[in-house]
Structure formats: structure tokens, C-alpha cells
Amino acid sequence: MGREPGGATGYGDKSIQMADNSFSDGVPADSVEAAKNASNTEKLTDQVMQNPQVLAALQERLDNVSHTPSSYIETLPKAVKRRINALKQLQVRCAHIEAKFYEEVHDLERKYAALYQPLFDKRREFITGDVEPTDAESEWHSENEEEDKLAGDMKNKVAIAEKEEAAAEELNPKGIPEFWFTIFRNVDMLSELVQEYDEPILKHLQDIKVKFSDPGQPMSFVLEFHFEPNDYFTNPVLTKTYKMKSEPDKADPFSFEGPEIVDCDGCTIDWKKGKNVTVKTIKKKQKHKGRGTVRTITKQVPNESFFNFFNPLKASGDGESLDEESEFTLASDFEIGHFFRERIVPRAVLYFTGEAIEDDDNFEEGEEGEEEELEGDEEGEDEDDAEINPKV
């Protein structure tokens, strides 16, 4: 017997037609559309992945993820993490030992400061003209051969000139005029603080000393600025005290890198009448609300001056944080104090002549050169590039 159309299902021709609309070669229509979308996506992905910039960005992101130390630590077994915590405890103990080391370094600085001081006292005598150096003390051999040769050729002329200068003492200035003021002008960090009306005062500066805290006292140092009698203030010495800390922070012990300045105190300047350059007088008109009359009042307001250096901003000690501008001002103050202590006072004559400044500039240029060299190594290893840009 023949089989009815539609087979055992009993569906007629209409059912067969519906099946034809729902299937294409036995595949559902939704699957066909999904396959088309997948094909388009795959083509787009292929195009994107052929872009070198996209590949580089993806690779960098993968590298960052795979090489993040914290992400690696998180994958370690609990027992290993426990041992790492033990290492951190040892590291904290190392930080406290390092703090003791710096305390002893401070004691050594104090000891050797006493040995330097007689030389610095003699330096002051030469600068002020209280003592004239002997011929032996004045002798200095230049490393420049041309200068040596010229000095030899001019020896007789110099001797004659010296005799003429001796005969005309009024032309021979006392000591080394404006020694410390010249250093202020030569050093950018200091010259930026000096206003035009500060200059006549700084010309009276005769010496700068560093005094370290006594044994058993909290770590600190004092900058002493010694002035000759002048028309501006009566203080013979202006002081700035920098307080230091040499112990790891309890909240962040691993940040310890040695002693740091944490606060500073200035001094009161006893200005003579009308000579205070740290303030200026302004006139302001005020109008009476009821009567409408106008009066002129005068008031003093702060004025930019180097001598504000002796009236520093105080570090916050009550737990309140300083604003960004105040933090920058305080950090700059600490940097200047450290520079006076470590560079200016020990090497004053070289900052006066400019030799120390040239050394500083050369050192900075060397650092930049090294950075450029490293960048060259990273950017390419092509032999032709190496010939065009040889390492110095």
C-alpha cells in the first residue's frame, strides 16, 4: 500500500510548506543568521588584529597584568604568604637598625663639624678682611696649562702691579666684597627668593654657619646668618632651626630612607623703624555707609622677601593636613635648608667662583645623557643605527 504524503506524522502539504520556510537545507534560520554574524565578527577581528598598534596595546596590557607583583602574590599558597609576612617583620627591624645608623652618622657629622670650624673661621677672617692671607696661603696651582704659562709670562708684570696696589691702599678693597651676596646671586634656588630691596641687606652678610644638635638631644641643625652692623635690623645673627626625624613611620615603615626634616623654626628680626622689607604699607579708601564720607586708611600687608625665610610656615602637628600650596612651600623650605647645610656652607668658595655650579650642571647633563643612551638601546639594536648614533 502507498504511503500518504506527510508520512507517519499525518501532517499534510501545508505542514510540509511550513517546514520548508523554517529550514534551509536542514539548518534552522536562526542558526544561519548567527553563522553570518559570527563570520562578519571573525573578519572584523582579523582586520583589527592585523593593526600593529592594537596588537602592541593588547600585549602591553597583558604584560602589565601578568607581571603585577600584587597579582602574583595573590596566587601564592597561604603557607608562602605567611613566610612573606615574616620577611616583612624582618624588614621593619632592618629599618630600625638603619635609623640607629643614621643617628650615629649625625654624631659623626657633629664631631667633624668641630674639626671643620677652625677652617671656616679662617675663611670668615679672609672674607671680612680681618686677616690677610700669607703668600703661602694665597698660592694656588691651576690645572690649566695655558693659564700656568700665562701666569709665568706675566710674573714680573704682576709683581710690579702688586707694588703699585700696595702704594695705593685706597684702591684695595677690604677682604672679599659681597662674598655671600654673590653666592646668593649665583645659585638659582637662592636668587629666586631675593628681591631687589633685599640686596643691600644681604651685602652685610659676613658668614653662614651650621650648628648640629648636642648629644642626647633630638636630631636637628641650626643655620646661623651672621651680619655686620647695618641700617636695617639690630640682630647680629639670624637663625633658622630645622628639626629632623630618623625613625621609621609606624604606619608606613618601609618608606624610611634616612633622616628627614619634619619642621623648622625661625627667629624674630628686630627691624629698625621703616626698614622692614617683609611688609609693605598700602593705602585704602573707606566710605561711611550712613554719612557717605570717605576716609583713607593705611595698613601693612605681607611683602615678598628673602627674609620671610626666618618666618617659616609651620608643619601641621595636630593631625590636620596642609593644603597643596602650603605643602609645596614647606617642602621647598626644607630643600633650601638642606642645600645650605650640605652644599653652600661646606663649599662656599666654589659657589662664589661658580665652579660648584658648573659641576652641578655637568652632573645633571650626564644623567640626561645616560637616559638617552638607555632609550636608544631599547628602541632598536640595528647595527646601522649604532654607527650613526655611537655611544659616547
State pLDDT tens for residues 275-305: 999 999 888 877 777 777 888 888 889 999 9
pLDDT at site 162: 62
Instruction: Give the confidence band of 72 by pLDDT, cuts at 50, 70, 90.
Output: confident
Q: Is the dihedral of CA 127, 129, 130, 131 positive or negative?
A: positive
R_g over Cα of the chain? 39
Instruction: Give the confidence band of 81 by pLDDT, cuts at 50, 70, 90.
Output: confident
Instruction: Give the confidence band of 13 by pLDDT, cuts at 50, 70, 90.
Output: very low
| pLDDT (mean) for 140-150 | 64
Residue 3 has pLDDT above 80, yes or no: no
Average model confidence (pLDDT) for the chain? Answer: 78
Q: Which amino acid is at 117?
A: Q
Q: How far apart, in whole angstroms, are the C-alpha atoms of residue 386 and residue 135?
A: 54
Instruction: Give the confidence band of 158 by pLDDT, cuts at 50, 70, 90.
Output: low
- Using DSSP, state whether 147 is helix, strand or coil: helix
Q: How far apart, in whole angstroms, are the C-alpha atoms of residue 223 and residue 237?
A: 10
Q: How far is CA 111 from CA 4, 105, 108, 117, 212, in A?
A: 118, 10, 5, 10, 9
Instruction: Give the confidence band of 229 by pLDDT, cuts at 50, 70, 90.
Output: very high
DSSP state of 302: E
Q: What single string gives the DSSP state of each residue in 189-239?
A: HHHTT--GGGHHHHTTEEEEEEEEPPTTSPSEEEEEEEE-S-SSB--SEEE
- pTM value > 0.95: no
Q: How far apart, in whole angstroms, are the C-alpha atoms of residue 337 and residue 342?
A: 9
In sequence order, what are the beta bridge partners of 224? 209, 239
Residue 59 has pLDDT above 70, yes or no: no
pLDDT at site 259: 81
